[in-house]
Structure 1
């Protein structure tokens, strides 16, 4: 073995706390050799499992497979977070090479007939419940992956998986490029009337960072709605910003992704048929908590009609306020005016009370401390993968170490849009590991020395993403496959949505919402006015979400052999068929920048936010009925649900927590659809 290979930081577990990757030692040149070594090592480990002359047992087959692939796991966990959070050209080039290789390697594991047969031969007798579940889920994984196909079928399946992986990488990278290219550059500051002094300073800094010698740059967040639309007075400026947002990915330049999206939908349909499903949506939903595609439609379709009716009523009201018909770029501006005039809530004016450090330490962490007894110590001695990333060590109430939490909050040109949680290390008793979780957001970075003041939506995102982190940190399972957020896609958003409930909880709000200059608390009655205003705009919010969810399903209900020649016409027809084609309420994501479903693992799964919200709204009602922010309630939620990962059926975990099945009434009330 060469000196370069033996010095590769991925070949052995990190010696840093909780096996935090040694980012100071990792170089771009380490990734490809680490992947190569990881592929080879796991295939050798699997060959040893299948060649074992002893009868198959849980230990020598199922647990052995769980132990395999350590080098590959370490390399992949770091690399794919870096690709999303700091995707430099060098990293993007590596991603293009490695994505299809990783898909081929997954096929080499799950299409291995000898390994599958050993799983079938493992006796169930004597296994504890988690072991029995791991064996059962493993057998299902082989079947879903196509191990039962004949040789020709498997060959085509491998081709499809490799091509889809490559196309997904291209889509993601083009969306990143398109978002950067579509940022709106403005020279005349008068066109930006409505932006605060801090907003203008941030926009000026963004312009310089992007290479503009002067002016201001309005960068884009991933969803359609852009925060500046709430405050920009100049209607033409609002129109420019909105059109820049919805036009991403559908122009004539190299960032166009429409053809990629259509091709991926066609290939996914072919793969679904090959695996015995009517469409990709059926295949994707089969392992979820939703019982069927029909059940998903049965939930979404009536909600869509009610939400669209509410949105039309809201549009009429906004038009009366504006004195003209409301266009998509007008909605947020006049909606904020209604919120100010009728509910006494000015979200833009609240930003001085939402300073990032206070939101994190006195809000997000404080709520976790009150509810779960957690303690947090920032570890400035531990290096992360970018200077903006911070590291905290997390402790249980008794002082025992729980894991590490990393926060990467600022946007940059190399970071994909949106917000997400990843794990660098997953908890598992088998490996003796604790969790290392990271939250990524996209908050515009202010000039040096200026405070980071958040919008209310960004406060919500901080609490939401930390809910995912808690799900990972609290994991207490035996096997990596079941760790933390490794749960069905339509359950994974549930714990994160629940964590949003503490934003306006009186003790929590009073602790973090302090004016960044004066230290004064929010004006009396602000929280009550925010709650009173929460139903306003639900027609818009629910419609834009459902439009995206139903568009996702439309793309993935295509039968095999279907090709889409005009993706934008397909999109328009899908929205019209679903009854959510309101010109003033565009989908939260359009085909040109729907990273969730074309590159983010949510294909036919964007419905999951609403599906999870049923559990979330019911859980919030449970907390309120049982004393709210208490250690007893936190311990119950942690022990019965957050710590269980996928080691138990997720809906059973909910029953263990709530003592019953979920009720939809709280969701309908929250959304104004009761």
Structure 2
């Protein structure tokens, strides 16, 4: 086995990706799975009476080689996929699920942890919390099942692992294989900065001229600026066809039958454990608790958002007709006319803004904000990573290492879409302890030429801040055990740090310091800055409505009996909502990766808004003290939110920080929807 897969020897403890070959992974998985099975068996079969040290604590390190191998492999499948890695991922997914089932459903482990839980009063608070969570995890995994139910649960988990892998790879195939060449005579309305990005995308794929791909940082501005309505329709249909059998991959990448099977298996899994449906199972450990609480929140926001888009739709339809186009306002029209209105009402041109929003300047803003709030220091260093584009920083505070941070910012055909934060290594205090190695992955459009500045949109800059908010949850983590470290928290709490951090991008003092013209070095003019901030909610009705549709469809899929035809159920939910025809779901079911390429956000896509209720209120805590950088509030945020992981229940941590429950008022105010609320 290649030792670099489990014993990392790169700078500051990073893996040496330059020493890892695809053919190394299969034998490594064989070896590490055997090591993990043996270690877990030794714990389960230990003849000594169960104790926290020989059972719960031992489980925290039992699978360390396998965990490190998985961290490397699944990082690569997300950021740099290839046929060999995809094939191995399909092979290894059911094996990992089978191992997980065998471990988490072992009745001997369940009995040992339950015995420790009965005597938990003698444990320190974090050990007691870890024991409670371990027992809950074993119970929810089916450790209490017997006979046929037990065997069936294991089959379900293995099959779900296969289906979710296939789902994700199908979406990636459709995204990777679609390229829309745009002839020189059909470029009307496209700004120079977008044309440069389109030409760079063409060169990357060995083509001449300019192309549109399904990279969000490319296709969204194309839909905003392209005057050629037919091309907008073609691009929009390809973007929304991912995974539905009509995309670039054809019937081979049709995810609809996979979705139906996933939903059926999730429902069966929940009922085997005694729950009414999957939503009841999934929401039990979350802050929301049950589906009714989720629906209550989402519908509070749906009404004012729908009122806003109703007024916007009328205006955009009139603009469409004024252009001499008969017929209804279509989904491929909305962004185009919204951008035209934004420019007219706020005198805001993206070409005027982009020279101030270079990637380098915004990275500086992200790091400087973290330094001012939490005293962090950043030192970039060289390391052999998976792509020359990936950058590495050591993060310290007062001379002490806090974490290693990796940034992979540019879109590539081999990278899955979207943006995410993940960790190669979790913080903990076991033995000598270890600090986090955390990664932010984005899909920004690369510069036209190597060494040239990369320009971000306002949304891209928000994404950069959002993902680093997740990273801070890892960087500032200060707990004893890896299972409760960093972002290992309730799903509807995990977005609080990330969405809260976005607020600092919009602070004038941050923009004035960092948004400087790439050519002249001059700061962002105050007038332009004010126009940017005034326009941030210009199309908030659209953004809120498309998100809520996805969240409500996700919840409906998992509440009650599973739908035999998910697409029909999706249509039914949208009809009941009275969803605007020109605003589809943000993530249509066949490419809803949050929900179907794993179950992290299944019955949980609502969590972004649940967390937003808190993040809006949390930022108000700073403003109430007169400064977005109030040191006492920042210290409380670190103490009670960012450093605690899941060492205490999320609602307790929130109340420690804010000393009151959050309300929806701040969210509606932040989205500019307060006037539309009844």
TM-score (norm 2): 0.94
**Across the two proteins, how many residue pairs are aligned to each other?**
659
User: Which of the residues 181, 197, 209 maps onto 1:202?
Assistant: 197
| Map of 2:434 onto structure 1 | 433
- Are 2:228 and 1:230 aligned? no
Distance 1:375 1:202 in 2: 33
Q: Which runs of 4+ in 1 moved over 4 A?
A: 222-225
Q: Name the residue aligned to 1:572.
A: 571
Residues 229 and 329, structure 1, Cα contact 8 Å, conserved in 2: yes
- Specify the alignment match of 2:603 in structure 1: 604
Secondary structure of 1:254's aligned partner: helix
Residue 276 of structure 1 aligns with which residue? 274
C-alpha distance in 2 between matches for 1:8 and 1:319? 62
Q: Secondary structure at the match of 2:313?
A: helix
CA contact (8 A) 1:372 1:635 kept: yes
| 1:420 alignment counterpart | 420
SS in 2 for 1:407: strand
Question: What displacement does 1:99 show?
Answer: 0.8
What does the per-residue CA deviation read over 1:567-592, in whole Å, with 9 as the maximum and x for residues that have no partner? 43332222112332x11111111012
What is aligned with 2:353? 350
1:269-290 deviations in whole A, cap 9, x for unaligned? 2212222122222211111111
In structure 2, relative to structure 1, the CA distance for the partners of 1:536 and 1:222 (3 Å cut) is: closer
Separation in structure 1 between the aligned mates of residue 426 and residue 531 of structure 2, nearest angstrom:
41
Once the two structures are superposed, residues 34-74 of structure 1 have per-residue CA deviations (whole angstroms, 9 ceiling, x without a partner) of 22222211221222222222211111111011121010110
Q: 2:568 & 2:205 partners in 1: Cα distance?
A: 34
What is the distance in 2 between the residues matched to 1:263 and 1:67?
A: 34
Show the counterpart of 2:64.
70
Matches of 1:190 and 1:621, distance apart in 2: 50
Shift of 1:336: 1.6
Kindly report which structure 2 residues correspond to 1:395-414, keeping only aligned pairs within 5 A, or say none: 395-396=396-397, 398-414=398-414
Moved more, 239-248 or 13-22: 13-22
Pairing partner for 2:177 from 174, 181, 199 = 181
Deviation at 1:558, TM superposition (A): 4.7
Segments of 5+ residues of structure 1 without an aligned counterpart are none
TM-score (norm: length of structure 1): 0.95
- Of 448, 451, 464, 2:450 maps to 448
CA deviation profile, 1:613-645 (whole Å, cap 9, x unmatched): 000110111111122213333222112210000
Label 1:317 to 1:622 Cα distance change in 2 as closer, same or farther (>3 A). Answer: same
Which residue matches 1:640?
A: 640
Alignment of 1:159-558 (within 5 A): 159-186=155-182, 188-212=183-207, 214-221=208-215, 226-250=220-244, 251=246, 252-322=250-320, 323=322, 325-361=328-364, 363-380=365-382, 382-396=383-397, 398-430=398-430, 432-446=433-447, 447-558=449-560
Distance 1:125 1:372 in 2: 34
CA distance, structure 1, for counterparts of residue 111 and residue 446 of structure 2: 54
Looking at structure 2, the residues matched to 300 and 247 of structure 1 have their Cα atoms a distance apart, in angstroms, of: 26
- How far 1:225 moved relative to its partner? 7.3
Deviation at 1:181, TM superposition (A): 2.5
Q: Distance in 1 between matches of 2:480 and 2:578?
A: 46
Other-structure match for 2:46? 52
Q: SS state of the match for residue 251, structure 2?
A: coil
RMSD: 1.8
Match of 2:115 among 121, 124, 134: 121
Deviation at 1:459, TM superposition (A): 0.5
Residues 157-195 of structure 1 show CA distances to partners (whole Å, capped at 9, x for unaligned) of: 111111111011011011011112233222x12312232
User: What is the alpha-carbon distance in structure 2 between the residues aligned to residue 298 and residue 646 of structure 1?
Assistant: 26
SS at match of 2:189: coil
Q: Give CA-to-partner distance per residue, 1:532-558, whole Å, 9 cap, x none.
A: 333322211110000111111122225
The offset of 1:15, in angstroms, is 3.8
CA distance in 2, matches of 1:222, 1:506: 27
- Contact 1:371-1:633 at 8 Å conserved across structures: no
Match of 2:30 among 26, 29, 36: 36
| Contact preservation (8 Å) 1:305, 1:579 | no
Native 8 Å contact 1:21 1:424 kept in 2:
no
CA distance change for structure 1 residues 224 and 26 in 2, over 3 Å: closer, same or farther? Answer: closer
Aligned pairs for 1:99-118 (under 5 A) are 99-118=93-112
SS in 2 for 1:536: coil
Conserved? CA contact 1:34–1:71, under 8 Å? no
Question: Could you say what secondary structure the match of 1:525 adopts?
Answer: helix
Residue 618 of structure 2 is aligned to residue 615 of structure 1: no
